[in-house]
A and B are shown apart, each in its own frame.
Chain A
């Protein structure tokens, strides 16, 4: 079962590697941006459409 920590977009916190940010590039009809969403390293990523193995 893939978890967030195995994903290229997961960036662990230095002080607590069990947590981190899922950083993604988003392009909407008006602008492009990078977003960061806090996730736990062991979160199940099986249904995540953005999952990409490191």
Chain B
């Protein structure tokens, strides 16, 4: 990619921020940014040039075969397999880098974990784009690995213990998204334990040794009890934890050795030699001992994350980098002046790049729902400390600045706004939004802290430590408050609720009876009866999705334990129980509600056109939907144009939205997780609205099978919010963002022209004040013009670096499918002021 001829000023005036960033960043960051292999799927397939890494599955399989008849308990065998991978995988150090670590054996590889699910392994066999050459040899390896794990993978082990009926409905893919596995979902981390700077792996190992010694002594004292019996399992668990931490330390030292070998044998540039020796010093220490510098702190964090992804497929990256790295940044840059601000930005920028390239092979439905990215690495910035004071620091600003320099789509940031945030920090947030990154999304901290206390009973100090567990959901990072695994299959394709009212729960796309057999739609004679049927379908779908998660949470500690994640979690080090054990978790589950707003728009259309105005009968509507509105275009347009739509400050439909949410909220308190806590809903979409477009049949809001669904959360349908940004906010503010659900995603498109200059900032600030005053918990912005996006569709090569906000995440525009691109362009551009 050649550097542009225009001056920086010209590029900024033209708002070509991606080229401006190229001019502004250091030569190191420029090299590293361009060196990065983007791993997100384009549409549903991995892009050319990326290959499935076969090294790791072969290592896992050879160790598993070796241990097959070993008398070790399963959890220890599993830990040994993990250690075998860390000890034997190929490692590499990229030129100019200062941080090291990657999951695969080479930078352009996607790692494949064959231990998770046979269905994932079959996808690898069938993959049309990323099997490495020579194909024949690779296929032999892939089938050998896939066959070994057939019947032994996590899902194979868990499924027979599920309710068969529920399992088949979940696996149909019609109503849910994901599988109930503790080694495949979104893992929070106990950052208060492992990132507080007071301990690192060696300290935890010493603690584990103490625990094992005490337990061993106790187990052999005269006496017998259940407590003693339980100690045998605990000692195995502690031992397994220790195996993984020791392997982590050895892995760090492998990088130290490689850096030293390069410096002493290959590198000729004295400056680079010094950097390599510095990397070597860092990795000799990290992760064994606590970090002392920013570089060590970032390296420590990176290792913690990578080891966890060697243990499980993690689709999210809950994190609070300014809060935990801030003290090291302040020390190095402000106090000791060991680093200049530019040098620190190089490290912070590289940290973003190292995270952006992390990749794990995922099934196609996950790739389609997360187009253009590898997972929802939504990093949390800002917010308050445990005592309620402002937590923003110099690292907050450094991260926001670095994001504009490296312009990766993933990780993205979400900013915990509260009234004490300084204008300086708000301007940095705004600058990222104005420059089209689509992030940070803005979160209302006081509302969300109250929400966490309300729904899950987190004490206030715990609630204040919250990070984004995935795109949206706040989850604390404390001993009992953090969620070790959010199993993604409690992700509901909510448009099916409405669809099933008309099909009596029969799913015509996957040919199964999935929903409840509510009365035939043509027999429903009042709106209240329709709504009752809707409530029944809602309860049925949510229950089908939640039950397998509850079951898997109970089974996970024994069947699919996580010794490494346990080892970096205080609750497990203390108790000797697996980190997913419900007895040591406060429990903060939620149901992600994809394709939610279609329900309110559809119910409003039915109420108005069928029952108020009596223009159509339920029988006619049922027949029109069954035929996908074919031959009924006039009727369809009536349902699109002449029925009230969410997002226009219209009480007629807004009250229906509240009815739906409050019925769901009521039911959320009846649904319980194995820790005894509630299951609130959280409307948002990622790119599920496109993935589900062909799985959801015609709906009464005028949508046809195949049309993109709305972009999600509580965002109005594209082009259907006709009364301006304040009306959208007013509709959204009728929802109680503390008690009606866990969180509510709101997409907004703003015009880049309007946001130019100081005036733009003031307009945005006013908008944000209205948003905050109205008590809305979330808003995120797309700020790229239609013109740029259309040009990018015509000429994608020239616009490789344009980023857009998809839903709870950002992606490079060229990496999402045409349908998703069109859906983003169709969103209403709101004029402010």
Contacts and interface: CB of A to CB of B under 8 A. Distances in A.
B262 interface: yes
Interface in A1-41: 11, 21, 23, 25-26, 28-38
Nearest to A39: B88
Contact of A36 (B34, B36, B254): B254
B257 A21 contact: yes
B90 A34 contact: no
Nearest to B49: A29
Contacts of A28: 106-108
B95 A31 contact: yes
A38 B87 contact: yes
Given A31-B95, A35-B91, A36-B92, A23 B261 contact: yes
Given A21-B258, A23-B258, A23-B261, A34 B108 contact: no
B426 interface: no
A33 B31 CA distance: 12
Interface string B55-91: 0000000000000000000000000000000011011
Interface string B88-110: 10111111000000000111100
A27 to B, nearest CB: 9
Interface in B253-274: 254, 257-258, 261-262, 265-266
Contacts of A29: 49
A38 B258 CA distance: 11
B88 A21 contact: no
A36 B108 contact: no
B35 interface: yes
B324 interface: no
B611 interface: no
Contacts of B90: 35-37
Interface centre among B36, B87, B257 (most CB of A within 10 A): B257
A33 B92 contact: yes
Contacts of B92: 26, 33-36
Contacts, number: 60
A38 B88 contact: yes
B37 interface: yes
Given A25-B266, A26-B92, A38-B88, A33 B107 contact: yes
Contacts of B31: 31
Interface in B170-187: none
Nearest to A13: B257
| Chain A binding surface SS class | strand
Nearest to B255: A36
A25 B93 CA distance: 10
B725 to A, nearest CB: 41
A35 B261 CA distance: 11
Interface string B244-259: 0000000000100110
A30 B36 contact: yes
B34 A30 contact: yes
A32 to B, nearest CB: 5
B357 to A, nearest CB: 10
Contacts of B105: 35, 37
B269 to A, nearest CB: 13
B261 A11 contact: yes
Nearest to A32: B95
A8 B645 CA distance: 71
Given A26-B106, A28-B106, A34 B93 contact: yes
B94 A32 contact: yes
A14 to B, nearest CB: 9
Contacts of B107: 28, 30-31, 33
A17 to B, nearest CB: 14
Contacts of B95: 31-33
B261 A36 contact: yes
B137 to A, nearest CB: 14
Interface in B25-46: 31, 34-37
A30 B257 CA distance: 25
A22 B174 CA distance: 49
Nearest to A28: B108
Interface in B1-50: 31, 34-37, 49
Contacts of B258: 21, 23, 34, 36
Contacts of B49: 29
A13 B34 CA distance: 34
Contacts of A33: 92-95, 107
Nearest to A34: B262
A40 to B, nearest CB: 11
A22 to B, nearest CB: 9
Given A21-B257, A21-B261, A23-B258, A30 B108 contact: yes
A47 B128 CA distance: 30
Contacts of A30: 34-37, 107-108
A31 B94 contact: yes
A39 B823 CA distance: 51
B106 A31 contact: no
23 contacts: A11-B257, A21-B257, A21-B261, A23-B262, A23-B266, A25-B266, A26-B92, A28-B107, A29-B49, A30-B34, A30-B36, A30-B107, A31-B94, A32-B94, A32-B95, A33-B94, A33-B95, A34-B93, A34-B262, A34-B266, A35-B92, A36-B261, A38-B87
Given A11-B265, A23-B265, A28-B108, 12 more contacts: A11-B257, A21-B254, A23-B266, A28-B106, A30-B37, A30-B107, A31-B31, A32-B94, A33-B94, A33-B107, A36-B258, A36-B261
Interface of A: 11, 21, 23, 25-26, 28-38
